[in-house]
Chain A
Amino acid sequence: MGKELTKGNEAIVKAAVLAGCRAFYGYPITPASEIAEAAAKYLPAAGGTFVQAESEVAAINMLYGGAAAGVRAMTASSGPGISLMQEGISYIAGAELPCVIADIMRGGPGLGNIAPEQGDYNQVVKGGGHGNYRTLVVAPYSVQEMADLTTLAFDLADRYRNPVMVLADGFIGQMMEPVEFAPRAVLPEAPGWSVRGTAETRANLVSSIHLEPDMLERHVRKLEAKYREAERNEVRWENWRTEDAEIVLVGYGIMGRVLKSVVEMARAAGIRAGLLRPITLYPFPAAQVRELARRARAFAVVELSTGQLVDDVRLALEGRAPVEFFSRVGGNVPSAEEVLEFLERTFSARHAREEVLAHV
């Protein structure tokens, strides 16, 4: 198939349908509404279901029902809606249902604004709902990845029987780029554990209750083991010009794009920079961060929040290297020039400081 100029939000839906998604339950919100709009068009065309729910609370619970019935199902929203969905996401994780949830981040807190931000990192990557669970999180940085990682998200959801989140920002959702979609559509069989209103599935139960403490502990340990397995097998990242990097930039989503420009400009200005771009935010490429610390002098995290991704980088490094931090929020996306200026300022200052220290 050739490449089609496609909007990020629309790419998610087309990839989802090709991956066998046949149920979409959603509620409109800027900047994610095009996902629901595309779903309203394409899901029924492919023989699936689209329902505009009365709220994000209802949408996530419809998703729970659709996933319980053994259908590949998804929803999409933005920060305020994702906050409302957290209850349902906890139930979905507890009941071990596979599904895909896209969060096209906007500015917060509260109503914030509709411009791109990355302030949902903690609520998406660290859980957000009650109880001991994780969601697997993929973070596209291009429209092509909106498609590819949505496909991956459905596969991971089935493999781990766990919700998988596609965490993108308003820019990645709204921009158009050429996309090469999967050449053919697939439709996986309904899983054996699902409840489909048939004789063979009559004995099945979907539930997140484990009344006895020992039973619940066993269940939580089982979930935990699943997450450890994902940490071993599903970490995805991109290293870009890191082979000889002294300064490793870390950023995801739209910032991953800007930072690629920054790396080029920094190198032209004499700073040997590289980029580590996490593609999965959970599991986080912690070992890959540590690996780069063997050569790099310092790390610089750039994100559209006041410091959420940076915590994971610091945790991964365990003090092995200094971590500098630069952010813009409120819907402002820093230009490459702005980040470069930060790098020059920070690292020349640091250099000077180290020089001084070296002479003490």
Chain B
Amino acid sequence: MSSYAISHERAHAFYDHFERKGELPHQTHYCPGCGHGIVHKLLASAIDGLGVRDRTVLVSPVGCSVFAYYYFDTGNVQAAHGRAPAVATGIKRSRPDSIVVAYQGDGDLAAIGTAEIIHAANRGESMTVIFVNNGIYGMTGGQMAPTTPLGKQSTTSPGGREKWNDGYPVHVCELLNALDAPVYLERVSLGDNKQIMQAAKAIRRALEYQVKGLGFSLVEVLSPCPTIWKLTPVEAQKFVRDEMGALFVPGCVRDRGKEAEARPARAAAPALADVPRLIGLTSGEEAVPAAERDLDLRIKIAGFGGQGVLMLGEVLAEAGLEAGYEVSWLPSYGPEMRSGTSNCHVRIGRHPVDSPLVSRPNVLLALNEPSLRKFLPAVEPGGVAIYNGREVPEGCERDDVRLAAIPVTAIADGIGAGKVANIVMLGALLELCEVVDEERVRGALRRLIHNDRYYELDLAALERGREEGRKLAAEAYGWGV
């Protein structure tokens, strides 16, 4: 006995009825003879064949296939024009077990989305890109595509695509073949039966590689657009095979499916309870001491980039915080990191800090002469200014400010590291003005300086600074604490 059994039928990866489409839910919105329908079927068959319908997320583009989500009974995300590879990256990286397919046309992928496709490919994103190349903008009504052949008329190349004005057709597979990461790149065509069967194989392979956890695959499909080309479906098919095929030669450009290594699985997520520690938050409940003194320090530190201006501020703020004060640290930022002037504002006080900007400092630490000249006039009467030099430069006198000159760079050089000049100045400050206890400063240095050698140098610098400060306080100025 013999009877008939179904061998080819509507793929399960398609909905039975296209409810999202609204009217005419029995058929697609594509024109008669459009290649998108065929590519959809090949993709749906591959999804069925690999048994990954539940895991599949289809990213539909802008273009004629913008409504691919009408048809595919898979997870669906619709993307902005050209951005499908970026959107697909976002999905795949967050859901590594999903099977992500970015479906794109030529305008979408090879013009507006060129950056996105190149970089998704270059990162080796484990995704499958179906690139439908029909050499024209279909949805918007027949404008020139990046893949339109030279000489071919379109509404925006009415005299035919012309190389001097429009450039040349973009060969996407060959372009991506210049990158290291892609696993599989193949150009196929819908030009005849044999080509369609080859396209089916390629699409299945591209999807299979993703299921295996391999990296980036792209299948470029030369596809007919009978409506815009003004050809019958059968003529359009022949045009694809003969004309498009001559320009974009079908074939496998790269297949590293055998040797490619699978993208390593992401490490298991840590226990939630461990997260604070893993992001550098200490869970210590150490009681913060009450602020001992009624301080209101408004400190400005200035010098040139590389003098440790910002670090000096950070040590002060950290020490202040540990001593129970309210603190803020505000840097000048940007190219000063490399050169030029640098300054920062530090506030340490008993009361919450209102403005972190220090416009009227009561402490000025000037690590070079321009900084002293610039900021000394703003120092509040009764304030303290320490200058990095043997004597206060001419024209920098202030009767109402306690101004000290200490050659901290020279002293630091004496210790063996000019870089710790900032800490010499900090040591001097501790003697010349009521700040925080040295113990707090040492604690702050310990936390901030991870290199033991530098930490030891900093301690030596702090001590030398204190000596200088004490000398000044006792001998010349008589205003020690």
Find out whether A and B make contact in their complex, taking CB atoms under 8 A apart as touching: yes
Stretch of A119-127, A181-189, A290-298, A343-351 that contacts chain B: A181-189
CA distance A209 to B81 in the complex (A): 12
Asked if A285 lies at the interface with its beta carbon under 8 angstroms from chain B, I say no
B374 to chain A, nearest CB (A): 14
Interface size class of B (residues with CB under 8 A): 35 or more
Establish whether residues B285 and A2, one from each chain, have CB atoms under 8 Å apart when the complex forms. yes
CA distance A91 to B82 in the complex (A): 13
Asked if B91 lies at the interface with its beta carbon under 8 angstroms from chain A, I say yes
Stretch of A51-59, A156-164, A309-317 that contacts chain B: A51-59
Q: Which of A64-110 contact B (CB under 8 A)?
A: 64-71, 73, 87-88, 91, 95
CA distance A17 to B334 in the complex (A): 26
B195 to chain A, nearest CB (A): 31
Establish whether residues B330 and A174, one from each chain, have CB atoms under 8 Å apart when the complex forms. yes
CA distance A4 to B88 in the complex (A): 37
* Nearest-neighbor residue (CB-CB) of A38 within chain B: B279
Given A46-B279, A58-B115, does the pair A25, B90 have CB atoms closer than 8 Å? yes
Asked if B174 lies at the interface with its beta carbon under 8 angstroms from chain A, I say no
Residues from chain A with Cβ under 8 Å of B321 in the complex:
3, 5, 178
A185 to chain B, nearest CB (A): 4
Establish whether residues A196 and B98, one from each chain, have CB atoms under 8 Å apart when the complex forms. yes
Asked if A288 lies at the interface with its beta carbon under 8 angstroms from chain B, I say no
* Nearest-neighbor residue (CB-CB) of B23 within chain A: A212
Given A58-B119, A184-B276, does the pair A177, B328 have CB atoms closer than 8 Å? yes
Given A3-B288, A61-B90, A197-B98, does the pair A17, B327 have CB atoms closer than 8 Å? no
Establish whether residues A206 and B76, one from each chain, have CB atoms under 8 Å apart when the complex forms. yes
Q: Is the interface of A mostly helix, strand, loop or mixed?
A: mixed
CA distance A203 to B76 in the complex (A): 8
Asked if A306 lies at the interface with its beta carbon under 8 angstroms from chain B, I say no
A47 CB contact (under 8 Å) in B100, B268, B314, B353: B268
Number of interface residues of A (CB under 8 A): 82
CA distance A332 to B353 in the complex (A): 20
Establish whether residues B75 and A258, one from each chain, have CB atoms under 8 Å apart when the complex forms. no
B272 CB contact (under 8 Å) in A68, A185, A208: A185
Question: In this complex, which of A71, A177, A264 has the most chain B Cβ atoms within 10 angstroms of its Cβ?
Answer: A177
CA distance A205 to B77 in the complex (A): 6
Asked if B246 lies at the interface with its beta carbon under 8 angstroms from chain A, I say no
Establish whether residues B329 and A5, one from each chain, have CB atoms under 8 Å apart when the complex forms. yes
A68 CB contact (under 8 Å) in B91, B266, B334, B357: B91
B275 CB contact (under 8 Å) in A17, A61, A338: A17
Establish whether residues A46 and B275, one from each chain, have CB atoms under 8 Å apart when the complex forms. yes
Asked if B368 lies at the interface with its beta carbon under 8 angstroms from chain A, I say no
A5 CB contact (under 8 Å) in B22, B318, B355, B356: B318
Establish whether residues A65 and B89, one from each chain, have CB atoms under 8 Å apart when the complex forms. yes
B329 to chain A, nearest CB (A): 4
Establish whether residues A261 and B354, one from each chain, have CB atoms under 8 Å apart when the complex forms. yes
CA distance A333 to B275 in the complex (A): 37
Which 5 pairs of residues, A with B, have the shortest CB-CB distance? A65-B90, A197-B98, A47-B269, A335-B359, A61-B86
Q: List 30 A-B contacts (CB under 8 A).
A: A1-B283, A14-B280, A14-B281, A22-B94, A25-B89, A25-B90, A30-B333, A31-B333, A31-B334, A42-B278, A45-B278, A51-B93, A53-B119, A54-B115, A58-B116, A61-B90, A63-B90, A65-B94, A115-B334, A171-B356, A171-B357, A178-B327, A184-B273, A187-B272, A196-B75, A202-B54, A209-B66, A254-B356, A336-B357, A337-B360
Residues of B within 8 A of A (CB): 20, 22, 53-57, 59, 66-67, 69, 73-80, 83, 86-95, 97-100, 115-116, 118-119, 123, 266-270, 272-273, 275-276, 278-286, 288, 314, 317-318, 321, 326-331, 333-335, 353-357, 359-360
Given contacts A65-B87, A195-B76, 6 further A-B contacts (CB under 8 A): A5-B314, A47-B268, A47-B270, A181-B281, A336-B355, A338-B359
